[in-house]
Amino acid sequence: MAHIERRVIKGHTYYYACRKGRVNGKPTNVWQKCLGTADKVIQIFETYEVIKDGPISAVIAEFGGVAALLTIAERLKLVETINRHIPRKFRSISTGDYMLLASINRCLAPTSKRKLADWYSETSLARILGFQEGQLTSQRFWDHMDLLTVERIRAIEADLTEHLITEFDIDLGCLLYDATNFYTFIDTFTDGDLARRGKNKQGRANLRQIGMALLVTKDFHIPLLHEIYRGNLSDSQEFASISELLVHRYKKLHEECEDITLVFDKGNNSKANFETIEESPFHFVASLVPSHHDDLLAIPLDKFTPATDERLSEISTYRTKKEVFGVERTIVISYNENLLDSQLSTLVNVISKARGKLNALQQKIVRDRTRRKGKRLTVESIDKQVKAILSPQHLSKIINVNVSKDRWGFKLKYRVQRKAIVHLMMTLLGKKILFTDQDDWSDEAIVLAYHGQACIEEAFKRMKDPHFLCWYPQFHWTDQKMQVHGFYCVLALTLASLLRRELALHDIQLSIPKMFDLLKKINEVAHIYPQPSTSSDDDQRPSSEASLTTQDKIVLSKMSSLQLKIFEFLGLHRFAPVKATPYCTE
């Protein structure tokens, strides 16, 4: 039978809930639970009265994505490595912590520094790391950014690269290099050396831009080296300027892999660059501009050999030797029927658009012939418009335009040269011309190495995606701040790529967007209950008014079987609330 017992222990009175039973025929307590002092018993009763109807609200925080990235950052020793190079100048959060938060933010929900604290408070990072929102102001962030000079960024990146190669067992046999640019909204008259106008790859040539060069692994495009450079430099010019840095980085990479092959596209080609590579320890696989090598394009397809590798089932190759930039190289021409179909479809669309514009120009010329007033068309203005219409690749060879003049004005006629299209199909379309100094490699090995170039192009594409891993928003305008901005964007790509690789090695094949979409849906939910205020010492009666405070009971949201598999593989329970356990819906 249950009852309450009063016990005095060391002069203090405590109350116990007990249940009696008979042991060997004698009545004794078979169960007991200490309820505490009288005040504690009253508090328990009052609490029950206000929470018995359930929580009054809930707070949802993003858990899965931030916890997964924290797991990778810990293995990478991201914070420790950065702090080892940065003197501790402030008592608050370290520079490494700021870079960690910035890189995780770039992975999951790219935002400005002003809004970083708001994003942080809506994630589990506030509970896991324990930083106060007031410590995450944009000014504090800028103070720490000032400490990251270009020299320190390079030293930090070198140490991180050296550690991740051994920690994650990275294959260095084939590395990919490429460059891109990002437009900015920096004013024309703002001082700075990096932001310049140039040929923008997003079609925003009217804006100042900055460039980024990346060296990544072939598998999962994990960054090993990056460089921020002036926006008006061409790819080949930047490759020449970064070559010394590549050779310096090679010395550390060489300790893990003796034979490293660099893969890059034709935009980086120049005689000076290949002379630099020839003097460096790197091997290379690169491509040539097909239209510059008519003799190679003229080789008939019946001389091509189908590839034996099942990954290249649609490809056939032709191998030869030719002098390129003053040195005889191994040449492999690849022909891909799928590429031919894609290029032909694109060409048909381009021709269709050009014909529509030429038809519109014809109508404009007809109206001009009957115009009595106003500015009339001239040969120069018509030629300028025609040149703009035919500016896309190959169009000037495919569409023949003739402009003539009679007593009433101008006439424009055009004709699509079908023979020119057939000639392109027989010679250029569907082909890529690759060359290398790896003379012992098979045709398939050379083609597969170059196909990896798509990985780095995918990495750049991902950094221009507005949802995950995005370079934007970017509100910095000084050269030093843009260097730091580029640094934590590359750190974000590193964390995301390593996370994707770890999942893939355990048969969880996901793209980066799909991976983060799954992880972002794993949330923690804190149930908010009202709690009565305690009675004062002068008045022992229960309070008639209750103050609302948090009695946190945090649980994890339901997971799919795939989410649960990721949760368990990454060991995310380490960051989960103590009492929260994953629950699978399937």
Give residue-wise pLDDT tens across range 123-143.
Answer: 999 889 888 888 888 888 888
Burial of 356 (0-12, 13-18, 19+ CB in 10 A): exposed
- Residue position matching structure tokens 């012992």: 440
Percent helix / strand / coil, the chain, rounded to 5: 45, 25, 35
Supply the pLDDT for residue 296.
93
Give CA–CA dist 420/75, Å, rounded: 57
| Over residues 352-374, mean pLDDT | 85
Q: Which two tokens stand for residue 553?
A: 């009971």
Q: Which of 543, 530, 547 is nearest to 48 (CA)?
A: 530
CA 293 to chain centre: 36
Q: List the beta bridge partners of residue 32.
A: 18
| Over residues 521-543, mean pLDDT | 61
Side-chain-side CA neighbours of 560 within 13 Å: the count stands at: 7
Give CA–CA dist 244/394, Å, rounded: 37
In a domain, 365, yes or no: yes
289's CB contacts (< 8 A; 6+ apart) are 266, 269
Q: Which two tokens stand for residue 186?
A: 């920096």
Supply the pLDDT for residue 123.
92
In a domain, 361, yes or no: yes
Supply the pLDDT for residue 90.
66
A 10 A CB-CB count for 178 gives 23
Give CA–CA dist 227/483, Å, rounded: 8
Burial of 3 (0-12, 13-18, 19+ CB in 10 A): exposed
pLDDT digits (tens, 9 = 90+) for 56-90: 667 788 999 999 999 999 999 999 999 999 887 76
Supply the pLDDT for residue 377.
81
Give CA–CA dist 126/63, Å, rounded: 10
Supply the pLDDT for residue 543.
38
| Over residues 536-547, mean pLDDT | 39
In a domain, 124, yes or no: no
Supply the pLDDT for residue 250.
64
pLDDT at residue 187 is higher than 50: yes
In a domain, 174, yes or no: no
In a domain, 113, yes or no: no
399 φ, ψ (degrees, to nearest 5): -105, 120
Give CA–CA dist 113/443, Å, rounded: 49
In a domain, 396, yes or no: yes
Supply the pLDDT for residue 541.
37
| Over residues 15-31, mean pLDDT | 84
- Residue position matching structure tokens 């590395």: 175
Task: Quote the pTM value.
Answer: 0.78
- Structural domain span for residue 329: 289-437
271's CB contacts (< 8 A; 6+ apart) are 325, 326
pLDDT at residue 353 is higher than 90: yes
In a domain, 207, yes or no: no
- Residue position matching structure tokens 């079908």: 418
pLDDT digits (tens, 9 = 90+) for 294-313: 899 999 999 999 988 888 88
pLDDT at residue 181 is higher than 90: no
pLDDT at residue 99 is higher than 60: yes
Vertex 567, ends 162 and 128: CA angle to 5°? 75
Give CA–CA dist 83/86, Å, rounded: 5
In a domain, 409, yes or no: yes
**How many domains does the chain fold into?**
1
Question: Of 20-29, 140-149, 255-264, 494-503, which one has max mean pLDDT?
Answer: 494-503
Instruction: Write the CA distances from 229 to 88, 240, 426, integer angstroms.
Output: 29, 12, 40
